[in-house]
Amino acid sequence: KQEVTQIPAALSVPEGENLVLNCSFTDSAIYNLQWFRQDPGKGLTSLLLIQSSQREQTSGRLNASLDKSSGRSTLYIAASQPGDSATYLCAVSGNQFYFGTGTSLTVIP
Amino acid sequence: DTGVSQDPRHKITKRGQNVTFRCDPISEHNRLYWYRQTLGQGPEFLTYFQNEAQLEKSRLLSDRFSAERPKGSFSTLEIQRTEQGDSAMYLCASSPLVDGYTFGSGTRLTVV
């Protein structure tokens, strides 16, 4: 069974810092990997989708990379803002998505 | 079609009652998924449909849980004889055949 791990579990940074969130998975046979953002008590908002044939995707201040062979993905957030405070989840897909437990990010003004 | 809709947003029920949740996916998406999320955890897979066919069910989906997607459009998730351990956020997502998910805002269930 696919297992997804996210490190760190929680992260607190001052506003303006660049930061990296890590995601690792045990089975490299995936269709794609998706990063989500979740605000407290809310549903999941898709940030970036990386197909298995791709190495990275970018959207604004966000950049996600994928290394299937090593079972790793990173989400890079540039110039963090207080509005980035949320839980970030990565998910890898077979017939279903397998989720990590998330990284809780706090950006301090 | 602006996204995946879930109804209700919140449900408080007494233990032992039955509850039903509804999900309206993005209309052109073939696949529909149900997930459950408890506090501090990532979402856990419950079941998914491709069109009206239920193709996979998690062992988390006990016999008190049933899901339907009768015409390949909206889906319902029913929980019979609710227990306090059923308290969670129930998330619905839809996708094209093999592609990223779009999630709804979820239904938060509290069993008292």
Strand partners, B21: B77
Contact B64, B79 (CB under 8 A): yes
What is the side-by-side strand order in the sheet with B5-7? Answer: B5-7, B19-24, B75-79, B65-68
Phi first, then psi: give them for residue B74, nearest 5 degrees: -75, 165
User: How much is the mean pLDDT over chain A?
Assistant: 94
Write out chain A residues lying below 8 Å of B101, CB-based: 34, 44, 46, 91, 97
pLDDT over threshold 80, residue A107: yes
User: Cα A11 to the chain's mean position, in Å?
Assistant: 13
Mean pLDDT in residue range B39-62: 90
Higher-pLDDT residue of A22 and A93 is A22
Instruction: Tell me whether residue B30 is exposed, middle or buried, using C-beta atoms within 10 angstroms of its C-beta: 0 to 12, 13 to 18, 19 or more.
Output: middle
CB pair distance less than 8 Å for A32 and B100: yes
Write out chain A residues lying below 8 Å of B91, CB-based: 43-44
Give the residue among B85, B94, B54 at the shortest CA–CA distance from B70. Answer: B54
pLDDT tens digits, one per residue of A58-70: 999 999 999 999 9
Q: Taking an 8 Å Cβ-Cβ cutoff, which residues of chain B contact chain A? A: 6, 33, 35, 40-45, 48, 55-56, 89, 91, 93, 98-106, 108
Higher-pLDDT residue of B61 and B45 is B45
CA dist., res. A29 & res. A24, Å (int): 13
Mean pLDDT in residue range B81-92: 96
Q: Which two tokens stand for residue B101?
A: 């998910």
pLDDT over threshold 90, residue A97: no
pLDDT tens digits, one per residue of A17-65: 999 999 999 998 888 999 999 998 888 999 999 999 999 999 999 999 9
Question: Which one-letter DSSP state was computed for residue B68?
Answer: E
Write out chain B residues lying below 8 Å of A46, CB-based: 100-103
Nearest to A34 among B55, B98, B100 (CB): B100
Confidence of residue B1 (pLDDT cuts 50, 70, 90): low
Q: Taking an 8 Å Cβ-Cβ cutoff, which residues of chain A contact chain B? A: 4, 31-32, 34, 36, 41-46, 49, 89, 91, 93, 95-102
Which position has the token pair 């308290």? B87
